[in-house]
Structure 1
């Protein structure tokens, strides 16, 4: 079965991290988000991966190439972002039999994707406490009977998880009309399949739709937590590593460093001396962590520098961010309420008691900068030495 992965979207809700690369290519543990989806499809038996690209599509092509894990890779271009059915329709010429459709910005329980492929036609569902913000599936005797988008009164708690295995006939049903939102929806294609076939609901044990920065942090917490301990890099005898810690070849851990897993230290990174790293943290390729720095439960992308005596917690730093010495990230409100974050101009609760800063590529802080909880620093932002920043920039 061919697996069509949707990776064309810009990811405006996760800005500034997507300012120069598509959301499905943001880092989750040791690979891009979309690679986890591709891996699940290949493990389930996909014999070809078709990637639908659009925004910054060359980034996707550079990573996956013409073959990924021994499986051929093809590409289709979605010229305009006009819906998920339109995205799959862009790959029509690659469809010559039953096919799967997976969102490149979702993490799926791999075992469920395996069951999805076997049960074709099928759709993945997740039990959620409040399904009103999802497409909601109705079932009878183990078969899907209906799907309704974002109902005020959901008929069930089964949310559509955006993973489908379609029969070959569905290729001819991709040209659905635009919905009230002005988009061509893949759920309208699913409705046609439901009318003609017995569609199996496949319940996911775990699923994460990564749309906003704190969900990217949660994705890393999931996948870093699954890593097995491996020490291939250079670790000082005077360093202490505890639990699930991965030090890739070419990484360096200096004397006095304490690392409490799960932590991933990627090739070319340097930590210490006397630094502390803990709590589902990714230290990306070529990252430099200086003397006495503390990093907790954060993602530091390629080329980041966090200079001596700084503290970073529950944060995501884009590529080549440079935190001057003594930079401190606050991650908790004084009233202990959930931290909020601005998404497309609206202040939203992250649902997290602790959440720090999201810094776009190339952001820089002056020495002794203080950053307040739930702060956004746009690409290339700078701060002055000794400054306290309590508003997005």
Structure 2
């Protein structure tokens, strides 16, 4: 039985700015809950009793959330990094918060991934085969943008390969999906006092030392939430039930939270989320979009695959596609912005 986990949530989320200026990436809402909440629930569903959040950037945000969500049934603590330690260093640092023996094992999740894989099945396979480590590997249609992880007929990992530069180098469609199970004895070998990458240093070194590194391979839902459009897609997929989460009890075409003012003539659709305190006025269209707390979408606005930050305001007549609006920013009446535009927090845009 495995009852401990480490959640890697220390990254700065630079590719998601301006959303991550005020909020660390794992605490951004997807389908109305922080990414971390979905992952913690997944771990809880798999029988995990104690979770360490490996924090660094904006750690105080996690502290508040931990206080509200830790309980007698699920203890949540955090291991703070004064300076970023990399994925491997964060795992080693997080282990200090767990009272485990060398033969025990720990589940590790990357903090910016949505996954539909069966964690219970991965744990069962790991325990049955008595491996030193297990990696969730997912098959993707086009692996050219990822490092490749081939396995043999016994499901043991045989190599960790860099991103292929040529189609002839694509020897497998299996990639690392960001969920690991590691024996404590292996974690203890990770160097301290410097940044260490689990992907580029720890795992290859395990193979060199003849450790049994198991691949748990499937074709389940997998999405890295590393950029704005992936973030929007992930939220919409959760809302509609394309991506599974036990926090979403009734998947639907949209998610509208409590204390929201949505006009009868407004259309909220395609996996959109409208969060508490927000306003969606007459004849507005909100499609595939995240509208965060206390934001205002005024009459006739059309939003497609956008993110509207906390307290932001979109004035009448604005039509936006694939645009990110930072917290408390304001877009003036009839303003036009190109697809992919990002507006920083507190910025006000008006036509002169």
TM-score (norm 2): 0.86
What is the distance in 2 between the residues matched to 1:305 and 1:48? Answer: 39
Structure 1 residues 297 and 380, CA gap change in structure 2 (3 angstroms): same
1:221 is displaced (CA, Å) by: 1.8
SS of alignment partner, residue 175 of structure 1 = coil
What residue in structure 2 maps to residue 165 of structure 1?
A: 181
1:145 match: 158
Larger CA deviation: 162-171 vs 196-205: 196-205
Q: Is the 8 A contact 1:6 1:87 kept in 2?
A: yes
Change (3 A) 1:214 1:68: farther
Q: What is the Cα deviation at residue 160 of structure 1? A: 1.1
CA 1:25–1:291: 2 relative to 1, 3 Å: same
Match of 2:20 in 1: 18
Aligned to 1:368: 334
2:204 to 183, 186, 191: 191
Give the Cα–Cα distance (whole angstroms) in 1 for the partners of residues 250 and 148 of structure 2.
39
1:201 and 2:208 equivalent?
no
User: Residues 191 and 68 from structure 1, CA distance in 2 versus in 1: closer, same or farther, beyond 3 angstroms?
Assistant: farther
How far apart are 1:358 and its partner, in Å?
0.7
Structure 1 residue runs without a partner (length 5+): 228-243, 247-260, 332-355, 388-393
Shift of 1:73: 0.6
**Deviation of 1:192 (Å):** 3.9
What secondary structure is seen at the aligned counterpart in 2 of 1:135? coil
Deviation of residue 119 (structure 1)?
2.5
The two structures, once aligned, show a CA RMSD in angstroms of 2.2
Q: What displacement does 1:148 show?
A: 2.6
User: Comparing both structures, which one devotes a greater share of its residues to strand?
Assistant: 1
* Structure with the larger RCO, 1 or 2 (CA within 8 Å, 6+ apart): 2
Q: Deviations over 1:210-238 (max 9, x none)?
A: 100000011112100129xxxxxxxxxxx
Distance of 1:361 and 1:316 partners within structure 2: 10
Distance in 1 between residues matched to 2:335 and 2:120, nearest whole Å: 48
Pair 1:358-2:313 in alignment: no
Task: Tell me, in whole angstroms, the C-alpha distance in 1 between the residues paired with 2:113 and 2:291.
Answer: 21
Measure the CA separation in 1 of the matches of 2:289 and 2:254.
10
User: d(CA) in 1 for partners of 2:317 and 2:273?
Assistant: 21
| Structure 1 stretches of at least 4 aligned residues deviating more than 6 Å after TM superposition | none
Q: Give me the whole-angstrom Cα distance separating, in 1, the residues matched to 2:46 and 2:174.
A: 23
Separation in 2, partners of 1:358, 1:101: 31
Residues 257 and 275, structure 2, Cα contact 8 Å, conserved in 1: yes
1:92 to 95, 110, 113: 95
Establish whether residue 288 from structure 1 lines up as the match of residue 294 from structure 2. Answer: no
Looking at structure 1, the residues matched to 179 and 224 of structure 2 have their Cα atoms a distance apart, in angstroms, of 11
